[in-house]
Structure 1
Amino acid sequence: MNRPASTTPQNQAPDTLRSDARTIGLIGLAHGSSHFFHLLLPPLFPWLIKDFGYSYAELSVLVSLFFIVSGTGQAMAGFAVDRFGARPILFAALASFAVAGLIASTATGYPMLLAASFFAGLGNAPFHPVDFTILNKRVSPKRIGHGFSVHGLSGNIGWALAPVFMAGITTATGSWRTACFCGAMWALVVLAIMVLNRDALDDRAESANAAAKPAATAVDAPKEHPMAFMKLPSVWLCFSFFFWSTCALSAIQTFASPAMQAMYKLPLSVTALIVTGYMLCGAAGMVVGGFLVGRVQRLEKVISICMLGSAALLFLVGTGILPGMVAVVVASIAGVGTGLAGPSRDMLIKRAAPPGATGRVYGTVYSGLDLGFCLAAPVFGFMLDHHMNNAVFYGSAIALVLSVVSAVIVGDGVSKKNRATLAAA
């Protein structure tokens, strides 16, 4: 008697702790590497200015180009993942990072730096559809939440390590080119690890199961146009939340270090620790925030308190009244608030999404990140060029406050919807 195709081992997603942990760990490593390459060049801006004479405004275009390529490529990457599978796209993305690092290490001028940013953005584009496709298809349902948690934490760790890695190697060797070359080697090492463990990343393992599911689901699908969700105000409020919160993050990641060097007269090797501290504190806050999600009904209150606390700390740093090392610590601690708000933010978006449109809503609102990074970089770069160092911290604080306004409006809408549902029941 033939065994049904849907029960064969090769057609089932692994359901053991060991296989789940292996897949989650690999995706975490890959996602952390993608965030690392967000900051391949920004930590090196002071050295690039010294060698090439560029302004911060000119170098901020490199950041904008990265996120333009990443943002526009993200939508197209979803179709590529569906057609070719997530695993080969992941391999190509990591290879693109290696190319970016090699181009940067041999750059002789602005065009090559732009090319490095282009390939880094190209590599970053597919990571969300790739990562979530593999996690959903390879990790058992009872551990998928842990997979998402590790995915978020690994991104923060990648952001935290990049400035220390790039600025540290540059300081130790006296060459930013060596740092870029080491970044390329890191991408190749991660690629080799993924290739050697490619069986744990096979997202096509459930294809037979998917084909065996009843076709009746199409009958039950909503009759609305697939893009109807874009008419909902809550979607664009969530988008604006991501946009403003990312503007603040862009200021911290790219410009806080040189701004603090100018304000507090600390060496770059010390001020580079701001980004690392901010990201690590954010990761710690994210762990704690995950427990708050299931215990708090009005999530916008959690978001508001945390974000406003971070804004107050960044504003305090901007005043310049703190001792130098205390300012570094305070700016780092501001990351705790944004980390705490992270899980509540994602759950609030899920509650605001209409039934059957959660994936499309997440895809739309998350594009606010790319737009925020793209537009904020030239603004804050202009501030530094005109010696408005305090404004980097004031601006990031204001952006966090504006993100709170969006979250509160969305939360009120969700609360009213819930009350209406209870009344109807």
Structure 2
Amino acid sequence: MIGLVGLAHLISHFSQLLLAPLFPWLKEAFDVSYTQLGFLMTVFFVVSCAVQAASGFLVDRHGPRPILLGGLALLGVAAFGFASATSYWMLAGFAVVAGVGNGVFHPVDYTLLNRKVSAARLGHAYSVHGITGSLGWALAPALLVPLAIAFSWRVALMAAGTLAFGVLLVLWLNRGQLALPAAPAKPAAGGAALAGEGSLDFLRIPAVWMCFGFFFFYAVVLSVIQAFAPEAARQIHGVPVALAAMCLTVYMVCSAGGMLLGGFLASDPARCERIVGIGFGAAALVALAIGFAPIPALAVPALFGAMGIASGIAGPSRDLLVKRSTPENASGRVYGIVYAGLDIGQALAPLVFGSLMDQGNFRGVWLGLVLMQGVLIASAFQVRRTRRTVLASA
């Protein structure tokens, strides 16, 4: 179960970076600016946000399997659609299709893990889930850029679509493992009962909205690192193009390694906020060094790796923050709403930071990244404070 969910999650994250590594080719092919390319990501994540919130209700009502298989199929269709695009607006149209497909994964994944994995293994399940996501992000530039260089960006995107349909076939052949009955109605944490299937009562839980805010700022940080940080670092420190292209893959691979360690640290739920604070605090210090310290160009990929390890360690504890605020019978709905914050952050960040890139304000990109990491740390501790306040008054 953990492996199948992780494999699907890998494709979700891989598909989020179908376009960003290919921006240099797309910019030339369609004669557009970085802000316009960033808008494609905004379209993707706005649609994904809306679908994510809605799909949580569908998962709780109908089970996760059909929702998951449908999402994977749409991602494959979108990849082939991008490959065949002849205009900027065709890219935007298939960004909508990709956003619909991407919107189902977190409600599906966490519903399956929370209900089918034992409590003793849950921290490790979150760790594997995070690792496969990071590997999906790492795989996208590692696969797409060499194919674009060797052949064309269209061939690269067709390969991405083939990969998505291949994973869909694997999950279809193992679909029995993904079966899950609808969740029974049970009382929420702290004694607050949810009225029943399709209920909106969970929206009254303050910690749910604090988790939403936390994931919004996490998404801004992530979006900047994925789309703009390597190029901004290249411009500041004169990093060779080939070396700059490695930065995101190094970050994601190291993030996956950090998540492996983070899975063990998350075995004690009482310390998850502290782990999140320490991990993202260390990442912020590294980001500050990349943006403003006089470092040699060859050191930049290594610093991206250090930033990835620190962020990865915080990953499983980050997911545990949400688990501790989730009523058992509303898992899909809560994760749909909370992870909608992830999509909203990734929708807005490219517009702001893409504008900074177009203005040549590369240090401003890194300063904004550091500030968002600071807000992220504060919001993690606010989740704990809100949850404790609710439990004390229950």
Q: Distance in 2 between matches of 1:261 and 1:396?
A: 16
Does the 8 Å CA contact 1:56/1:385 hold for their aligned counterparts? yes
Match of 1:171 in 2: 149
Question: C-alpha distance in 2, partners of 1:351/1:412?
Answer: 13
Contact 2:123–2:267 under 8 Å retained in 1:
no
Q: How does 1:78-157 map onto structure 2 within 5 Å?
A: 78-82=56-60, 84-136=62-114, 139=117, 143-157=121-135
Aligned mates of 1:117, 1:124 — CA distance in 2: 10
CA contact (8 A) 2:208 2:325 kept: yes
Structure 2 residue 269 is matched with structure 1 residue 269: no
Whether the aligned pair in 2 keeps the contact of 1:298 and 1:415 (CA below 8 Å) is no
The structure with more radius of gyration? 1
**Runs of 5+ consecutive residues of structure 2 not aligned to the other structure:** none
> Partner residue of 2:356?
383
Q: Pick from 24, 32, 38: which aligns with 2:16? A: 38
- Which residue in 1 is equivalent to 2:45? 67
- Counterpart residue identity of residue 160, structure 1: A
Name the structure 1 match of 2:55: 77
Give the match for residue 192 of structure 1: 169
2:256 is aligned to 283
- In structure 2, the CA distance between the partners of 1:216 and 1:41, relative to structure 1 (3 Å rule), is closer
Q: Residues 361, 24 of structure 1: CA spacing in aligned structure 2 closer, same or farther, 3 A cutoff?
A: closer
Q: CA deviation at 1:357?
A: 6.4
Bigger mean CA deviation after superposition, 271-280 or 361-370: 361-370
Superposed, 1:212-291 pairs within 5 Å as: 222-223=192-193, 226-231=199-204, 233-291=206-264
Q: What's the C-alpha RMSD, in Å, of the aligned pairs? A: 3.0
Q: Residue 381 of structure 2 aligns with which residue?
A: 408
Letter in 2 for 1:189: G
Aligned 8 A contact 1:138 1:202 in 2: no
Shift of 1:188: 1.6
24 and 348 in structure 1: CA distance in 2 versus 1, 3 angstrom threshold: closer
What's the secondary structure of 1:366's corresponding residue?
helix
Work out the CA distance in 2 between the residues paired with 1:68 and 1:365. Answer: 14
8 Å contact kept, 2:53–2:333: no
Comparing 82-91 with 337-346, which one deviates more in the overlay? 82-91
Could you tell me the percent identity over the aligned residues? 42
Alignment of 1:287-298 (within 5 A): 287-295=260-268, 297-298=270-271
CA distance in 2, matches of 1:141, 1:303: 20
Report if aligned partners of 1:160, 1:275 keep a CA contact under 8 Å in 2. Answer: yes
| CA spacing shift, 1:324–1:125, aligned 2, 3 Å | same
CA distance in 2 between partners of 1:188 and 1:410 (Å): 38
Name the SS of the counterpart of 1:322 in structure 2: coil
Relative to the length of structure 1, the TM-score reads 0.82
1:337 to 306, 310, 330: 310
Correspondence for 1:160: 138
Contact 2:55–2:336 (CA under 8 A) maintained in structure 1: no
